[in-house]
Structure formats: C-alpha cells, structure tokens
C-alpha cells in the first residue's frame, strides 16, 4: 500500500553476516535525497576479532533480533525494515507483533520459516545449537562484491569485514514476521553469494518480487538505483 509523503515510514536497515552498519553509508544519503529517514542497526553476531574465542558461545541470532526489536521500539512512528542476506533471519524473528512495522523488504536475503535456520535453508544438516561455538572468519570478498562495486569501495568494505558468530547460523527461528506483515523481495540478478535461483525460491514466501541487475551488495554497487527501487516499493 502506498504511503503518503507525510506518513512515510522510517527505513530501518539491517546488515548481513560479517558486515556492520557501516555498509549502508552509500545508500543512506540516496534515500535521504528521496525524502526517507533511515536508521541502521549494528548486529552483535558480527563480532570484533578480539572477542572471538575457541570455546565461548558468541552472540546468537536471537541477540540480533533483540537489537532489531529495540531499534523498532525506539522509533516513534511507522517503520519499514530492509534486511540484507543473513539479516533476514533476525529480522524475521524480531518483527512479529511490532505494530509500527508496515513492510519488510528482503534484499538478497534469507527468509526463514518457523523451525528453519540459515544452515537448514542452505540444505546442510542442522547442528546442535550449543555445539556451534566460535566464529566464522570473513570469506573472500569476491562473493559479496562483484565487478560492479567500485574498487575503492570494495577494498574499504573488505577491510571492514569481521568474524561472524557460528551460533547465529544454527539458530532456528521461532516466529516469522512475513506471515503477518506485508513483504517484498529484491532479487540481485548477478549475485555470486546467494544464487539468484535460490533467491527466486525464497521470494515466493513474500508478497512481491523485484529485481536489480547487481551483485550481492547493491548498497555499494548501485545505491542510487537501490534507493529508487525501495521508493517504488514503499512510496
């Protein structure tokens, strides 16, 4: 449903694994120029290298969901949540019952149902959650940042990637916001991290599907086009 300009929701941005709120820095001014207010969360499952140990349990996707829910509660007024990649997991968990969330947008993101985890949706055996200790180091940047990302932005992004809690990949969601909140999916057609064919399948769980001719991170490769598409979806 279109939103009148005076009633536009704040856009809450939820980053994916290994990333941080910094990754939206190119997109936020593009959205601001189009009349949108934004907020970006920092997920605790993306951990500083010095916090990583071989035995201790690191933050879970439920810890991430709590941060998202607190950010939702801090906004006085309507919200739309944009979740990228892994960020779709805690966003799905965090949003049921949040009355001010009016739309969910999954950006090349995981869309789990109740009882599913990122690992199970990837077709891998579901591990015991308590055995998922330690952190997964950042992968090669090629999967995230294709040839469409300017070299300077790519190099800066790769330098900012941090380890990610293995536990959060094994957590099974207990509730799913997309069952009750209007939702859309943006498929990135040149994605090397999450195959577009897989995104198309995940998108069947949402109400509407859109496409961008981008790699996995259009907030870096084509922020203006992504801002325009978000406006098309929400305005």
pLDDT at 122: 85
Nearest partner of 108 among 44, 229, 196, 10, judged by Cα: 196
Stated pTM of the model: 0.94
- Beta strand residue intervals within the chain, DSSP E: 10-14, 38-40, 79-84, 101-107, 135-136, 164-165, 183-188, 208-212
Q: How many separate domains does the chain show? A: 1
pLDDT at 95: 98
One digit per residue, the tens of pLDDT, for the chain of length 235 reads 455 556 799 999 999 999 999 999 999 999 999 999 999 999 999 987 666 655 467 899 999 999 999 999 999 999 999 999 999 999 999 999 999 999 999 999 999 999 999 999 988 776 665 556 678 889 889 989 999 999 999 999 999 999 999 889 999 999 999 999 999 999 999 999 999 999 999 999 999 999 999 999 999 999 999 999 999 999 8
> What domain range includes position 125?
5-234
Beta pairing, strands 79-84 & 164-165: unpaired
pLDDT at 208: 98
CATH of the domain at 148: 3.40.50.1820
Strand order in the sheet with 38-40: 38-40, 10-14, 79-84, 101-107, 183-188, 208-212
pLDDT at 1: 43
Write the DSSP symbol of residue 138: P
Measure Cα distances from 213 to 11, 23, 147 in Å: 22, 19, 12
Q: Are 190 and 203 in contact (CB under 8 A)?
A: no
Structure-token match 């870096």, residue found: 220
pLDDT at 207: 98
Tokens of 127: 């591990």
């Amino acid at each position: 449903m279109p939103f009148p300009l005076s009633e536009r929701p704040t856009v809450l941005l939820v980053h994916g694994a290994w990333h941080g709120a910094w990754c939206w820095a190119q997109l936020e001014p593009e959205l601001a120029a189009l009349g949108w207010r934004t907020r970006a969360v920092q997920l605790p499952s993306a951990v500083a290298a010095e916090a990583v140990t071989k035995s201790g349990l690191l933050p879970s996707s439920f810890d991430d969901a709590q941060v998202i829910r607190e950010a939702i509660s801090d906004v006085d007024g309507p919200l739309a949540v944009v979740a990228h990649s892994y960020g779709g997991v805690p966003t799905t968990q965090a949003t049921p019952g949040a009355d001010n969330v009016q739309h969910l947008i999954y950006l090349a993101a995981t869309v789990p149902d109740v009882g599913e985890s990122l690992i199970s949706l990837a077709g891998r055996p579901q591990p015991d959650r308590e055995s998922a200790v330690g952190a997964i180091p950042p992968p090669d940047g090629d999967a995230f940042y294709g040839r469409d990302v300017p070299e300077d932005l790519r190099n800066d992004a790769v330098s900012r990637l941090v380890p990610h809690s293995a536990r959060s990949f094994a957590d099974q969601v207990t509730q799913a916001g997309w069952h009750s909140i209007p939702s859309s999916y943006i498929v990135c057609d040149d994605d090397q991290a999450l195959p577009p064919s897989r995104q198309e399948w995940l998108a069947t769980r949402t109400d509407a599907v859109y496409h961008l001719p981008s790699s996995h991170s259009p907030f870096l490769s084509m922020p203006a086009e992504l801002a325009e598409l978000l406006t098309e979806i929400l305005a």
